[in-house]
Amino acid sequence: MSSADRTYDVVVLGAGPTGENLADVVVRGGLSAVLVEEHLVGGECSYYACMPSKALLRGTEALAAARTVQGAAAAVTGEQDVAATLARRDSFTHDWDDTGQVDWVAGAGIDLVRGTARLDGERAVVVTTPDGGRVRLTARHAVAVCTGSEPAVPPVAGLDGVQPWTPREATGAKEAPRRLLVVGGGYVGCELSFAWHALGSRVTLLQRGGRLLPDAEPQAGDAVLASLRDRGVDVRLDADVTAARREDDEVVLTVGGEEVRGDEVLVATGRQARTTAIGADTVGLEPGRYLDVDDTLRVRGLPWLYGAGDVNGRRLLTHMGKYQARQAGAAIVARARGEEVSGADWSPHTATADRAATPAVVFTDPQVASVGLTSAQAREAGLPHRVVEYPIGSVAGAALLADGYEGTAVAVVDPGREVLLGVTFVGPAVAELLHAATIAVVGEVPISRLWHAVPAYPTVSEVWLRLLETWRG
């Protein structure tokens, strides 16, 4: 048991990708920074979310791609080696060992304190270390909360008692459960239904609403639903889980008066801010709530406190957390230097893309890649818009990529400014099509100029030309 007091320019709570990036930016800007982490350095994404889930899916995707090319299909005569796929997944999570990340932190000139951090009034943080010691950290300029989010288990009778899988257990499982129940048809539920079905589980996906991926363009949820059902996943829409219990080794869910049985149940119905135990009350904030921040990611009313990443609830995506980290870090450095900080959209100090141009990829088959506003979001915001749609399979490059390629591109256009507000691609291997749309939306490149951005023939990207032609009518 030890005790110490230390002062840094910036104290960062949470060493996930957001905290790491924020600390890196401020250190590059000449400030000193310390990261506090109670669990693994590298965060949820590296060990329990993006990386392992995509690793579980990639082998299935690669084989599906080969099977849809006449001539190549003949070579795919065997089955995926599930143990090897799980071993590959483990290699990406480094078997949940964070040595590499710790080395990176040290190399970046960032200090690291392991332990549980609590705010303790203005610019002060108290860390309880694993050995029961106490470290008091004081920030000259800023404290940044990057503690992220955690799964929210819905208030279903008995659900806590069945020890449901969260995404952590579902991405880390050492073998495929015989029967997997998945509660929640958002991107996590859909991706993991695909993954475990392909790796041998009998999967039942229970979605409360009438559509999968309800935040995406409707073409996305419809296509993913059809594909899941086509390969034998039992997808039930409008399926409200009202009770849960264990019977011996079985999980039993009550769904609309019926019972559904499985060996494991994954609950993927949403997340909540990880602010319960950070001493929020010592600075006048309500524990458990998302931090309310301005576009420089500064908590309103507390000029020394920042909240970046999931913890502010703006966009719960790793890459947007990292983006916010870069912007918040730049704002902290500028303010520490007494420089002016611009709060304007697209400035070096503000997060703008997380309102206007957030990219997201759902790694199902078909994939769903989207950026900016959907047609529904444009409608709800009362923005003038026109929707342009094109079947990707009609593009020569898509036909070359896969026999019978099916997909859809949807663009939401501001008809006054003639710029793109949002784009969604649904189809196999569309993930890498997305960044073109992101640059077009973020760059506010007018359609008149996009006509000069010629897609190479014969690539799938030629769908851009078709969208422009469809827009022109």
Give binding residues for FAD as ranges: 54, 147-149, 310
Annotated binding site: 54, 147-149, 184-191, 270, 310
Q: Residue 358 in 3-state DSSP?
A: coil
If the CB atoms of residues 157 and 439 are measured against a copy of itself, the closer one turns out to be 439
If the CB atoms of residues 228 and 436 are measured against a copy of itself, the closer one turns out to be 436
Peptide bond into 458 cis (omega under 30): yes
Contact indicator for 279, 116 with CB cutoff of 8 Å:
no
Contact indicator for 349, 306 with CB cutoff of 8 Å:
no
If the CB atoms of residues 21 and 129 are measured against a copy of itself, the closer one turns out to be 21
If the CB atoms of residues 156 and 224 are measured against a copy of itself, the closer one turns out to be 224
Q: Using DSSP bridges, classify how beta strands 250-255 and 116-119 pair: parallel, antiparallel or unpaired.
A: unpaired
Displacement of CA 366 from its chain's centroid (Å): 18
Tell me the CB-side half-sphere exposure of residue 43, using CA atoms within 13 A.
Answer: 27
Q: Residue 447 in 3-state DSSP?
A: helix
Question: What's the angle, vertex CA 225, arms to CA 219 and CA 228, rounded to 5?
Answer: 140
DSSP 451: T
Does residue 314 bind a copy of itself (CB under 8 A)? no
Please enumerate in sequence order all residues whose Cβ is within 8 A of that of 386, keeping only pairs 6 or more positions apart, or say none.
412, 413, 415, 471
Q: Which of 206, 401, 410, 411 binds a copy of itself (CB under 8 A)?
A: 401
**Shortest distance (Å) from residue 458 CB to a copy of itself:** 5
Which residue's entry shows tokens 């329990």?
48
Q: From CA 113, how far away is CA 106, in angstroms rounded?
A: 11
Q: Which of 212, 213, 244, 433 binds a copy of itself (CB under 8 A)?
A: 433
If the CB atoms of residues 8 and 363 are measured against a copy of itself, the closer one turns out to be 363
**Shortest distance (Å) from residue 414 CB to a copy of itself:** 16
Does residue 98 bind a copy of itself (CB under 8 A)? no
**Shortest distance (Å) from residue 135 CB to a copy of itself:** 31
Does residue 110 bind a copy of itself (CB under 8 A)? no
Does residue 432 bind a copy of itself (CB under 8 A)? yes
Q: Binding string, 6-45, against a copy of itself, x = CB under 8 A?
A: ---------------------------------------x
**Shortest distance (Å) from residue 325 CB to a copy of itself:** 11
Q: From CA 147, how far away is CA 308, in angstroms rounded?
A: 8
Q: Which of 5, 7, 30, 72 binds a copy of itself (CB under 8 A)?
A: 72
- Within positions 325 to 344, which residues make up the interface with a copy of itself, using CB under 8 A? 326
φ and ψ of 91, to 5 deg? -65, -30
Does residue 319 bind a copy of itself (CB under 8 A)? yes
Does residue 101 bind a copy of itself (CB under 8 A)? no
φ and ψ of 142, to 5 deg? -155, 145
Which residue's entry shows tokens 């342009």?
388
**Shortest distance (Å) from residue 122 CB to a copy of itself:** 31
Q: From CA 118, how far away is CA 125, in angstroms rounded?
A: 6
Does residue 252 bind a copy of itself (CB under 8 A)? no
Region of 134-142, 184-192, 346-354, 404-412 interacting with a copy of itself (CB under 8 A): 346-354
Q: Using DSSP bridges, classify how beta strands 3-13 and 134-145 pair: parallel, antiparallel or unpaired.
A: parallel
- Within positions 132 to 161, which residues make up the interface with a copy of itself, using CB under 8 A? none
Structure tokens at 99: 């040595």
Q: Which of 125, 464, 467, 471 binds a copy of itself (CB under 8 A)?
A: 464
Structure tokens at 215: 């935040």
Strand runs labelled E in 209-346: 234-236, 241-247, 250-255, 258-262, 264-267, 271-273, 305-307
Structure tokens at 116: 């549980």
Q: Binding string, 40-59, against a copy of itself, x = CB under 8 A?
A: -----x----xx--xx--xx
Annotated binding site for NAD(+): 184-191, 270
Region of 115-123, 231-239, 243-251, 321-329 interacting with a copy of itself (CB under 8 A): 321-329
Q: From CA 90, how far away is CA 174, in angstroms rounded?
A: 9
Q: From CA 136, how far away is CA 118, in angstroms rounded?
A: 10
Q: Binding string, 364-383, against a copy of itself, x = CB under 8 A?
A: -----x--------------
Does residue 66 bind a copy of itself (CB under 8 A)? yes
Does residue 443 bind a copy of itself (CB under 8 A)? yes
